[in-house]
Structure 1
Amino acid sequence: MTRVFVSAEEAVADIGSGASLAVGGFGLCGIPDALIAAIAHGSATDLEVASNNCGTDGHGLGLLLEQKRIRRVIASYVGENKEFARQYLAGELEVELSPQGTLAERLRAGGAGIPAFFTPAGVGTPVSEGGLPWRYDGDGSVALASPPKEVREYAGKRYVLEESITTDFALVHAAVGDTEGNLVFNMAARNFNPLAAMAGRVCIAQVETLVRPGVLDPAQVHLPGIFVDRIVATGVQDKQIEKRTVTARKDLPL
């Protein structure tokens, strides 16, 4: 059964050093920012994170990076975080890059109990052949590289074997949730959140609005409560924009 917590700090209190986390969101869209901030206020370190990206400088998972709380990251995009790049190139952070669709399926497969699957993405590249730098030495040489993966041919096409991802905890953000853990995501904020929730052995959801059972239309539920262990109402958090682009208004003639 889903347990309702009164604060984000209480919901993440048992996330200890060395824990693995699947974290929802895409860029800064739909990230569980209150839960991440609560972890940043605690003492957990040496964390392993599986997420589409690692936030930006000063926001989202970037908070944990700045505090040197993260040991290893599995992600598909890391281009918006200067501190991430600095730690990676300095040998302070281990990074496994995974094609975005592959990462999504690795999380989903982990939640579905599927240990591995074959995909054409990455065949014939370092993704399948190995050699991607996972960790650098301080002098710029590669201390640890990705190993080669099994490749098989099916119906004349080659596929690479990818292992699924399961983590100790999952952190997700939803627009609305009920006290049974059923979640509704707002538009693009749906992104990696359902997949991350499935991959975590203990799923913690922050929701903007918490309602009683029966309020949500079952047909509109994006993630059933069977995947959610803890839920906390955080309200609407300050929305951050990665790259603000504006233009001067030009009134068009009728």
Structure 2
Amino acid sequence: MKTIFQSFEDAVRDIHDGATIMVGGFGLVGIPENLILALVDKGVKDLTIISNNCGVDDFGLGLLLKNKQIKKMIGSYVGGNKEFERQLISGELEVVLTPQGTLAEKIRAGGAGIPAFYTPAGVGTPVADHKESRVIKGKEYLYEESLEADFSLIRASKADEMGNLRFNKTARNFNTMMASAGKVTIVETEELIKSGDLDPDMVHTPGIYVQSLIIGKQEKPIEKRTVKN
């Protein structure tokens, strides 16, 4: 049995100033919205956030950004977040932009205990500045170190009491690999079922990577609404 929290305040109680946190999601898909809101309410600051992007101005990680609770952001793109863009340009926020595939592999490698790897992504671009490179079989590769975090905040559609997780379609995105790369993994799940009720063949992330769970109802806003006239 994993720790099952009854309040989001309790779920993030141990997250401290200066913590490095991985946050699952892609855009607003699969983000642990209520855990993020709990961090906003907690007022924890000087955070290093590892996530694909930083939400939007008024939702998700964008709320932490707006409150100046994030000191450093490691991600793959700015997206439509104007405050992210403003803080980046003004120098208020330290940003490490990383090719998306490289970011995914850095997280996966961290969870697998692999300290570093070589990748062709970024060769010949500003991404390669001040980085070690190596020619392997006649092709140049960049040296990239893996990523780990103090905490991983994960969003699942279904979990059992042992922490085995299922994700809904593309909401799997970064959640699966981040679950394994955090020293402490906290899962916000839409549905919590009894142990043994989740088909083992349908488990996306095994419970060995999960320390605690909480049930949360998500708002699930649309990041960019497109309609046909």
Q: Which residue of 2 aligns with 1:135?
A: none
Distance of 1:69 and 1:228 partners within structure 2: 25
Q: What per-residue deviation string (whole Å, max 9, x for no partner) do you get for residues 28-48 of structure 1?
A: 000000100000000210000
Larger Rg: 1
Deviant stretches of 4+, over 3 Å: none
1:63 paired to 2:44: no
1:172 paired to 2:137: no
Distance of 2:104 and 2:8 partners within structure 1: 26
Distance of 2:157 and 2:79 partners within structure 1: 27
SS at match of 2:18: coil
User: Which letter maps to 2:133?
Assistant: V
Does structure 2 retain, via aligned residues, the 8 Å contact 1:8–1:206? no
Q: Which residue of 1 aligns with 2:209?
A: 227
1:190 paired to 2:133: no
1:212 paired to 2:190: no
Q: What per-residue deviation string (whole Å, max 9, x for no partner) do you get for residues 191-231 of structure 1?
A: 01011111111000000000010010001000000111111
Q: Which residue of 2 aligns with 1:76?
A: 76
Distance of 1:226 and 1:3 partners within structure 2: 13
User: Which letter maps to 1:243?
Assistant: K
User: Which letter maps to 1:88?
Assistant: L
Displacement after TM superposition at 1:77 (Å)? 1.1
Unaligned segments of structure 2, at least 5 residues: none
Distance of 2:188 and 2:26 partners within structure 1: 16
Does structure 2 retain, via aligned residues, the 8 Å contact 1:204–1:229? yes
Q: Which residue of 1 aligns with 2:48?
A: 48
Q: Which residue of 1 aligns with 2:86?
A: 86
Q: What per-residue deviation string (whole Å, max 9, x for no partner) do you get for residues 10-64 of structure 1?
A: 1111101000001100000000001000000002100000000000011100010
TM-score normalised by structure 2 residue count: 0.98
1:247 paired to 2:228: yes
Displacement after TM superposition at 1:107 (Å)? 0.4
Displacement after TM superposition at 1:79 (Å)? 2.0
Q: What per-residue deviation string (whole Å, max 9, x for no partner) do you get for residues 48-95 of structure 1?
A: 000000000111000100100000000001121000011111111000
Task: Summarize the alignment of residues 72-221 of structure 1 with structure 2, pairs less than 5 Å apart.
Answer: 72-128=72-128, 130=129, 148-221=130-203
Does structure 2 retain, via aligned residues, the 8 Å contact 1:77–1:97? yes
SS at match of 2:35: helix
Distance of 1:162 and 1:22 partners within structure 2: 18
Total equivalences in the alignment = 229
Distance of 1:74 and 1:246 partners within structure 2: 32
Displacement after TM superposition at 1:151 (Å)? 0.6
SS at match of 1:86: helix
Displacement after TM superposition at 1:2 (Å)? 2.4
SS at match of 2:88: helix
> RMSD over aligned Cα, in angstroms?
0.9
Q: Percent identity over the alignment?
A: 57
Q: What per-residue deviation string (whole Å, max 9, x for no partner) do you get for residues 149-197 of structure 1?
A: 1111111111111000001000010000011110000000000101111
TM-score normalised by structure 1 residue count: 0.89
